Every structure is written in C-alpha cells, then in structure tokens.
C-alpha cells in the first residue's frame, strides 16, 4: 500500500520510520512543515495538503491533537474527504471524543468513502520496541484490508467493533493510565514519608505485583524528570477531561478519574504543568511537608 500520514508530532516521528523500514512509500503533511525535515531525509515524500496526501495514498493515517484538528484535516477545505478514492481507507489514530469520531465517519460514509478509528495505545518507547497496541473501530472488511500495515507499527492489533468503539476504548484506557500513575506517585510519597528512600521505593514498586509497562518506563521519572516530557500535564489532562466528559454524558461514574484530575489541576496551580505529568509526585511531596 501507498501510505499517507497527517500529523508529524512526536508519535508520527517514530511511527513513520517504522513504516518506511517495512518497505512502504509514505507521503506526509503537517500544519508546521518544519517538523518534516528528518522524515524527508529518511525517505518520506511531502504533500502540500491533506487532500493531496489522500489522493496519493491507499491508506491515510491522521494523528493530531484534538477533535477540532481531526475535523479540519478530514472534512475541511482540502481535507482528506476531498482527495480519498472509494478504494482507499482513512484511519484516524487521534484520541478524540467518540461521538465526534462517529460524526466524521458518517460524513465519509455519506460520500461513499471509508473511515476507521484506530487509536494507538503506547508511547514513543513502546513504538520503538514494536510493542504498541492499535485498536480499530469501523467496517470489519476495511480493517482486515489494512491490518497488515498496522502490524508494521506494533505487534498488538485488535478489532474492537463499530465506528467509534475503538476511540471509546482508548478513552477508557487513558483514564486507567492516568489514575494508575497518580496512585503510583501517591504510594511512593507514602513510603518516603515513612522513612523509605525514594529510589528504593520506586525500585520496590517496579518489582512488585502492581508493576505495569507504563510504570516501568514512566515511574523512574520521579527520580530523574526528563527535560522533554513524554506527555506534559496539559496534554495528559486533555485526555482526562475527555474521559470525564464522556463519562458524564453516558452517566458512567468516574470518581477516581475526577480525583486524579484535581491532582493535575494542582500541578497547574504550582506552575509545574510543563513537566511530564508524573510531576504529580511533587504535589504529594509538598503536601507531605517536603520542599
């Protein structure tokens, strides 16, 4: 397949080289063209609009910030919908409101075109390891057509169900991820307050029954905060607020998510929201009497 990629952020920067290494031709576009530099050097082609990307591709991916951005690249002037052929597939990997994803998919269907929602659960770390997970919602036949390409991104690929169901699942997973890391910070702060060395506490947690992949690569940030965050408080809180809004609309209780969101708010109040969101530990540390 000839592939298109819209959105050359941190995830695109690590996914596209995997697709190129697998032998695919990739044409890319980004609102800020300067982000394409390293990818162009690795063999990615450039198109001037999402429409042009779609016209050159059998399968078009998008991974952009929010629902407004997805709507713009998919349905806007020179959007994917105006360049995609009936034989091609558009797959959006962004984490957005499932309701908005279904509305965009319906617009494609009304035009005789196919859109899938295919959010990725992982990080640049898991993508480089080849262990990222992709979940797909929408037409099953279209999923089976593009599934081999998804395995070139990561080893775990799942068909979830009808349109919007995959991004619904991603919202639920992100809720777990954030709450899990917030309680990890809480637990380390509790251990440290009781006299356990912080590094020893982190090591013990990561060797315990509660350890998980995300704890494994993110937990050590408590000891050595990266200069460039994997996902800062603002970005991660976007996903939490989305989860809480979806939960409110469905009438689905999410009390732990609401509490975790308040910890993210505290990071913002302290002016540390530019750091990776594991900086929640610093909130606990200060509340426990630390500096």
Residue of 289 and 52 predicted with greater confidence: 52
- Where exactly are the structural domains of the chain? 2-162, 169-287
pLDDT value at 232 more than 80: yes
pLDDT value at 179 more than 80: yes
Indicate whether this model's pTM tops 0.75.
yes
201-207 contacts, C-beta under 8 A, 24 or more apart = none
Q: Please tell me the predicted confidence (pLDDT) of residue 46.
A: 97
* Dihedral angle, C-alpha 107, 244, 14, 141, nearest 10 °: -40
Distance, in Å, from the CA atom of 256 to the CA atom of 217, rounded to the nearest integer, reads 23
Distance, in Å, from the CA atom of 30 to the CA atom of 37, rounded to the nearest integer, reads 11
Give the CATH number of domain 2-162.
3.40.50.720
Residues 6+ apart with CB under 8 A from 96: 66, 67, 70, 167, 242
pLDDT value at 180 more than 90: yes
Give the CATH number of domain 169-287.
1.10.1040.10
Q: Please tell me the predicted confidence (pLDDT) of residue 125.
A: 87
Q: Are 83 and 77 in contact (CB under 8 A)?
A: no
pLDDT value at 201 more than 90: yes
Average pLDDT over residues 133-139: 97
pLDDT value at 291 more than 90: no
Helices (H), 95-164: 98-110, 124-129, 140-153
Distance, in Å, from the CA atom of 28 to the CA atom of 7, rounded to the nearest integer, reads 8
């Amino acid at each position: 397949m000839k592939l298109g990629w819209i959105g050359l952020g941190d995830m695109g920067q690590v996914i596209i080289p995997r697709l190129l290494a697998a032998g695919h031709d990739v044409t890319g576009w980004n609102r800020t063209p300067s982000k394409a530099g390293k990818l162009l050097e690795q063999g990615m082609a450039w198109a001037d609009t999402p429409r042009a990307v779609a016209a050159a591709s059998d399968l078009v991916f998008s991974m952009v910030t929010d629902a407004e951005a997805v709507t713009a690249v998919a349905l806007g002037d020179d959007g994917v919908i105006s360049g995609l052929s009936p034989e091609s597939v558009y797959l959006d990997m962004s984490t957005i409101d499932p309701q908005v994803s279904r509305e965009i998919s319906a617009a494609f269907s009304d035009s005789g075109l196919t859109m899938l929602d295919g959010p990725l659960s992982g990080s640049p770390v898991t993508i480089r390891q080849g262990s990222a997970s992709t979940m797909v919602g929408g037409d099953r036949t279209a999923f089976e057509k593009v599934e081999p390409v998804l395995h070139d991104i990561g080893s775990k690929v799942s068909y979830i169900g009808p349109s919007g169901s995959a991004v619904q699942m991603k919202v639920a997973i992100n809720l777990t991820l954030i709450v899990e890391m917030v309680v990890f910070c809480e637990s380390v702060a509790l251990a440290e307050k009781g006299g356990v060395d912080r590094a020893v506490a982190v090591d013990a947690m990561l060797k315990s029954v509660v350890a998980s992949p995300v704890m494994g690569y993110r937990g050590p940030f408590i000891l050595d905060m990266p200069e460039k965050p994997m996902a800062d408080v603002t970005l991660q809180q976007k996903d939490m607020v989305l989860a809480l809004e979806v939960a409110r609309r469905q009438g689905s209780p999410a009390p732990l998510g609401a509490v975790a969101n308040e910890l993210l708010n505290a990071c913002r109040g302290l002016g540390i929201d530019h750091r990776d969101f594991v900086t929640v530990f610093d909130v606990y540390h200060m509340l426990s009497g630390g500096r």
